[in-house]
Every structure is written in C-alpha cells, then in structure tokens.
Amino acid sequence: MNKIYNPARETWSKILKRPTANFSDIEETVKGIFIEIQKKGDKAVAKYTSLFDGISLTDIQVSDDEIQTAISLVSDELKEAIQLAKSNIEKFHSAQKTAKIEIETTEGVQCWQEKRPIQKVGLYIPGGTAPLFSTVLMLAVPAKIAGCQEIVLCSPPDKNGKINPAILYTAQLCGVNKILKVGGIQAIAGMTFGTTTIPKVYKIFGPGNQFVTVAKQFATQFGVAIDMPAGPSELLIVADESANASFVASDLLSQAEHGGDSQVILVTTSKDFIDAVEKDVSSQIKSLPRKAIAEKAIKNSKLIYVENNQIAIDLINEYGPEHFIICSKNEKYYVDNIQNAGSIFIGNYTPESAGDYASGTNHTLPTNGYAKNYSGVNLDSFMKSMTFQKISEKGIQNIGSAIEIMAEAEGLQAHKNAVTLRLKAIENGK
C-alpha cells in the first residue's frame, strides 16, 4: 500500500487521482456502438452481446418460466435476507415522500408544487463475477414507491445465457415489469433508442464499469436522463487511535474486492495506526476468494497521514468520496464539516457493507469526485417536480404592472401585451 506522510496541498490533486482510464479513450467505442444500435436495433444488440459476453441469444427477454426456476434456486436463507433488506429500504425511501407545497405569493396568485413519477425508467444491474442483486433493491424499490409505470431491467447474461437467480428473484419481488439479458454499452444504447425487444426509457439508473459510465453520459445527448455518472467503487476512511485497525482493514478490503479499478484510502492523524492497518490488510487479504482483484485495487490505495483534523477534512472534501467512514473520537467534527461525500458511515460498528445491503440507505452513489455536485439515488431521483399557478382577476391586477415593466425592459413586447390585454379587459368589465 502507498504510504504518504504530510502531503503538501499542492500535491493533493495528484495524490488523490482516481485509477480510471481517460474517458476520451472510451468515447469512440461507445459512439460507434450507439450508432449501430440506433440503426440496426436488436441485430446490433445481439452482435455485441456475442462479442462482449461470449453468448449468442435468440431471445433476450427473461421468460416467466425462467423467473420461476430462478426463484426455486434461491435459498430460503437468502430470500429472508433480501426481504429484510427490502423492508428497510422501503421504510427509508417511503419516509422521503413530501407533500404538495402550496402558497399564495400575492393576494390572488396561487402557486404550488407537486411531484409526479418518471413514467419509464431503466435499471442497469452489473453481472459478471459479482452479480449485484442488491442493486436491484436499491433501484426497483424506490422506483415502485415513486409510482413509475414501466420499470425495465437490463443485466448481462453469463456464458450459459442466464442471469443470476438472485437478480431474477429480487427483480420479481420488487415488481420489475421487464427483464432483459443484455449488458454493457449495448444495454444502455438499447434503453436510449428502444429496439423491438428493449423499451425506450426516460431515465437510466445503475452503476457499472467505465464503459457503462461513458455510455450513460453519451445517452444524455439523445434526450435520456441518468442518475449520475457512477463508475468504479471507492471508499475513504478517516480514523485515529480510537479506531479498530482490524475493522478498518476489513472495510478497505470490502471495497477493494469490487474490482481492480476500485480505490480505497485511509486518512489518519496517527502514524502507528497506518502500520497497524497495513498489517491487518496483509493478513486478511490472504483468505479472500477475490484476493487477486483486491490486490490489484490495493495497489491503487493510499494510507495518508496528516497532522490534524482540519487538514484531514480539507483533504477529504477535496477528494469527495463515494463512501466515507468516520472512526474517530472527533466524529462530530467530521459529521459537521463533511461537504462532499456520497454516503457517510459513523462509528466503529457501522461498516460500509451495511449501506450496501440492508440498513436502508441507497448504495447507488456518485464516484470519481462527482459527490461534489451529485446526490446519491433517492426517492426524488424517480420523480419530477412540477409547478402550478392560478391567478385571479385580483391577482393579475396585483402583479400585472410589474410584469409589464419587466417585459418591456427586456424588449419582449408580446410578453407585456399578454398582461396588458387582460388588465384592460378587467378595467372595461369584460
């Protein structure tokens, strides 16, 4: 692991650089696949599924029989765990509902705001070596609570043309309307344009690798919204001598095993703690089934010593981590002063994996520094705010003159006329 002591502020941007490829290297690939799928639809989707996933499929829609078979393959123990997680996620996201906001801004001028669900949403669920059925919960549960009419799920097939049974079980449990065996760039392009098999959606959600991240960003050029540009997972922990080095090491490794391009960072005010954590990481990593993946990510990790909490919080806000764990006797200081983080975990007994699965918060979060300007997925992510207004005769009389003056000052005479005509009609008793 890379140990860094008292880094100068002017070096922070270099030290905190993510181990991700330059998106410009990926954009041409994404653009070419998008254009082909826009023109050729399902035929192009099949081509790239064969190329990237190594399987040729005649039908990419998951059938009811496949879902029922998948349900029978999931153990009762796992079903119970998923149901518990679903219950907590439902509680937390249901609590995010807000009532209609209504106010009379001026006598006779009624304004209000209401939220309506996005009608068609697409959920992207990574598969591969770590099929993230937990992400189905994080996306489908709030989509259902919001009232989205059509919930489409895309996930890459394995070499046998199947989707992990736990993903299928969770999808049907959460009320997903259509499940498709398609992943990567071709899934995002399919949901962007629509094909004979893949419905076109209004907004796409879900994490993925760098290709999926760029594909989602590219989709916005075609009128499709996205939750955020979420890429490889990352974690930053701030800890001092009051923390448990073994716990901290386990949290670092829990993110490192996501993928070789994940990044984990420890920031501490204790030099001895750095050595203790490094020792525990070396010990714990040996028994991990995904040891090779974790080792690759650990090479991109940083153990950073700083002299005080002020420097630590400044560095953390500069990084803007996806996940931020606080294990410090000064936890209130960090809670009060953190500005840029996707999700925060406080105390020695709050592992980041709790948020990944069952505490109730959402694990679909901004990465790569986007925590500085994006929120994680929440109930409002699946809704739109719409404003309404109704103005009476008295109301237009109260604000009409101001509108006329402002419109004329901007040189927009038709805007002024729309008010003037109404005011004259009222004056003339018409």
Catalytic residues: 322-323
Helices of type H across 286-385: 291-298, 309-319, 331-337, 352-357
| Phi and psi torsions of 310, nearest 5° | -65, -45
The rounded distance, in Å, linking the Cα atoms of 87 and 94 is 10
Which has the higher per-residue pLDDT, 212 or 128?
Answer: 212
Chain segment 354-378, per-residue pLDDT in tens: 999 999 999 999 999 999 999 999 9
Distance CA 342, CA 322 (A): 5
Residue 239: C-alpha distances to residues 24, 154, 300 (Å): 36, 39, 19
Task: Write out pLDDT tens, residues 69-99.
Answer: 999 999 999 999 999 999 999 999 999 999 9
Instruction: Output the CA torsion 21→274→252→206 (10° steps).
Output: -50
pLDDT at 209: 83
> What is the number of alpha carbons within 13 Å of residue 2 lying toward its C-beta?
14
Domains of the chain: 23-106+116-227 (3.40.50.1980), 232-375 (3.40.50.1980), 392-427 (1.20.5.1300)
pLDDT digits (tens, 9 = 90+) for 220-250: 999 999 999 877 889 999 999 999 999 999 9
Dihedral sign from CA coordinates of 320, 321, 326, 327: negative
The answer to whether the annotation marks 415 as part of a ligand binding site is: yes
Distance between CA atoms of residues 243 and 329, nearest Å: 8
The mean pLDDT value for 264-279 works out to 97
> Once rounded to an integer, what is the mean pLDDT over residues 379-404?
98
Give me the pLDDT at residue 131, please. Answer: 86
59 is in an annotated binding site: no
Establish whether 209 is an annotated binding residue. Answer: yes
> What is the rounded distance in angstroms from the CA atom of residue 149 to the CA atom of residue 146?
9
Considering the entire predicted model, what is its pTM? Answer: 0.94
Task: Indicate if the pLDDT at residue 430 is higher than 80.
Answer: no
Q: What is the pLDDT of residue 6?
A: 97
Specify the higher pLDDT residue, 24 or 160.
160
Q: Residue 29 is encoded by which pair of tokens? A: 């690939």
Question: What would the mean pLDDT of 120-144 be, rounded to a whole number?
Answer: 93
* 93 is known to lie in a ligand binding site: no
pLDDT score, position 217: 94
C-alpha to C-alpha distance for 156 and 187, rounded to whole angstroms = 8
Q: What is the pLDDT of residues 31-56, one digit of tens each?
A: 999 999 999 999 999 999 999 999 99
pLDDT at 22: 65
At residue 107, does pLDDT exceed 90? yes
pLDDT at 2 over 70: yes
pLDDT at 120 over 80: yes
Q: Rounded CA gap, 401 and 389, in Å? A: 18
pLDDT tens digits, 321-366: 999 999 999 999 999 999 999 999 999 999 999 999 999 999 999 9
Q: Is 255 annotated as a binding residue?
A: yes
| 8 A C-beta contact, residue 111 and residue 105 | yes
Assess contact for 221 and 137: CB atoms under 8 A. no
pLDDT band at 21 (very low <50, low <70, confident <90, very high): low
Any binding-site annotation on 233? yes
Handedness of CA 362, 321, 240, 302 (dihedral sign): positive
pLDDT per residue as tens digits for the range 295-310: 999 998 999 999 999 9
